[in-house]
Amino acid sequence: MRQLRKKPKILHSPRSAARARAWDVKGMSDKFLQAIPQSGNILLTSHDNPDPDALSSCLALVSLIRQKSGLNPHIAIGGILGRAENRALTLELEIDVYPMDILEHQHWDGVIMVDAQPGAGNTNLPRHLPICAVIDHHPRRLELRAPFIDVRPEYGASSTIAVEYLMAQGIKWDAKLATALFYAIRSETQDLGGSLCEADRRAHFALFDAVDWDLLHRITKAKIPGDYFSLFQRGISNARLYGNALVTDLAEIPTPDAVAEMADFLLRHEHVTSTLVLGHYEDQIVFSLRFTRTDLDAGVVASSMARKFGTGGGHDHAAGGRILLTQPRAARADLIKETIIGRFLELVGMNEYQPGQTLLPSGSLTGSQ
Ligand SMILES: [Mn+2]
């Protein structure tokens, strides 16, 4: 049995205080349009390994800028598109997403960051980019500076802010854009059941009549590759239960967002209120946290877990982090992983724990029980 020295700190959610705030949507969207250069090359970008909220909010703002300013902005995002649903979304909507490294030597007159903030751990922006606007729903970073900032942490999705801008500026969405935004809000708020506010519900219903349901079905029920199932098998067979906390290590993963998908899936366990899923992607350890408990903020926990090694952060219910395994750290990857897991268990209150129970009875995966 391992005894941790310190008592776990209680990390309260910064959102626990009600923060109902009425936003002047028309005023904000006017200021946003004014903050964008009126000519030249405009780039929209988001966090690495984009999710539907990142992609759809970029897409909505492209449409807004095109129609209001006559410019034709590009979207460039780092990392890769992992989840089958996200690939289906970009293919079905024919979204041109450029990889960041191709565009970093291009001249940009204005860069808009959506669903992320410059300097956050889930981004890797070249330094010289001229950021003109930041639109996001993650907690505002203290050091955030930009000519235009619209950060609303109480919102469930950045796509909701984008929908409000479109409505305030009288821009009509077509079926594809409506479907993308609808899917983004649903997936980001766990079908309107996770963290969200009234604005998310309003945006969701504003889009409803324009949704292409066949298209939505093709995205949400996208075919998945065969190795996805072995990943699930590994996630389940490596899973350990520590009270209400569940931890699993996926080892090598084909795409970094595999940890998020597994963390979502395992959180469905009837006795589990927090999940931690780790994996190795190229030269990084990545991890994902999911909470149904509301007394702790997953973003704060993720950032404490990654301290000194890498970066972590996110929302109150969902967060993640990554640690670059540069030399000499690469040789200590297992030790670092163990430390991260130890910190997690301490922070979620498992300050004294057994090695952890397996999720499945031994032998059940081979049918030999
Ligand atoms: Mn988001």
Task: Please report the DSSP string for 312-367 in residue order.
Answer: EEE-SSEEEEEEE--TTGGGGHHHHHHHHHHHHHHHTT--EE-S-EESS-TTTTTT
In the chain, where the domains are located: 25-220, 227-358
Specify the DSSP element, H or E, that contains 26: helix 25-35
Cα distances from 49 to residues 100, 189, 195, 256, 280, in angstroms, run 11, 18, 21, 7, 15
Q: What local confidence, expressed as pLDDT, does residue 366 receive?
A: 53
- Distance from residue 136's CA to the centre of ligand 1 (Å): 7
Asked, as a colleague might, if the bond just before 130 is cis with ω within 30 of 0, I would say: no
CA of 303 to the centre of ligand 1 (A): 17
Count of alpha carbons within 13 angstroms of residue 238, beta-carbon side: 19
- For the stretch 288-343, pLDDT in tens is 999 999 999 999 999 999 999 999 999 889 999 999 998 777 788 899 999 999 99
pLDDT digits (tens, 9 = 90+) for 174-221: 999 999 999 999 999 888 887 789 999 999 999 999 999 999 999 999
Cα(188) to centroid(ligand 1), Å: 6
pLDDT band at 352 (very low <50, low <70, confident <90, very high): low
**CA nearest neighbour of 47 among 177, 169, 142, 141:** 141
* Per-residue pLDDT, 353: 60
Token pair, residue 286, equals 């990545």
The answer to whether 195 and 187 have CB atoms below 8 angstroms apart is no
Calculate what percentage of the chain has a pLDDT beyond 70. 91
Q: Is the pLDDT assigned to residue 2 strictly greater than 50?
A: no
Rg over CA atoms, the chain? 21
CB atoms within 10 A of CB 28: 19
The pLDDT value given to residue 16: 37
Q: How far is the CA of 117 from the centre of ligand 1 (A)?
A: 11
**How far away, in angstroms, is 56 Cα from ligand 1 center?**
10
Tokens of 70: 């006559």
| Residue 82 pLDDT level (bands cut at 50, 70, 90) | confident
Contact 56, 86 (CB under 8 A): no
Q: How far is the CA of 138 from the centre of ligand 1 (A)?
A: 7
Looking at every residue in the chain, the average pLDDT score rounds to 89
Q: What pLDDT score was predicted for residue 10? A: 44
- Residues 97 and 70: their CA atoms lie apart, in Å, by 20
Instruction: Pick the more confident residue, 255 or 149.
Output: 149
Is residue 9 over pLDDT 60? no
20 confidence band (pLDDT: 50, 70, 90): low
Per-residue pLDDT, averaged over 117-121, amounts to: 90
With cut-offs at 50, 70 and 90, classify the pLDDT of residue 101: confident
CA of 44 to the centre of ligand 1 (A): 15
Which pLDDT score is estimated for 12?
A: 46
* Tokens matching residue 280: 């190795």
CA 261 – ligand 1 centroid, Å: 15
| Residue pLDDT, tens place only, 220-244 | 999 998 888 999 999 999 999 999 9
Instruction: Give me the CATH topology for the region 25-220.
Output: inorganic pyrophosphatase (n-terminal core) (3.90.1640)
Say if residues 127 and 119 touch (Cβ distance below 8 Å): no
Contacts 24+ apart (CB under 8 A), 21-28: 21/152, 21/154, 23/152, 23/164, 23/199, 25/164, 25/165, 25/167, 25/168, 26/168, 26/169, 28/150, 28/165, 28/168
Does the pLDDT value for residue 132 go beyond 60? yes
Distance CA 302, CA 201 (A): 28
% of the chain with per-residue pLDDT over 90: 72
The pLDDT, as a whole number, for residue 13 is: 45
pLDDT at position 305: 97
CATH class (in words) of the domain with range 227-358: alpha beta
Cβ contact 177:59 at 8 Å: yes
125 three-class SS: coil
Whole-structure pTM value: 0.87
Per-residue confidence (pLDDT) for residue 7, from 0 to 100: 42
Amino acid, res. 331: A
Per-residue tokens: 53: 């909220």
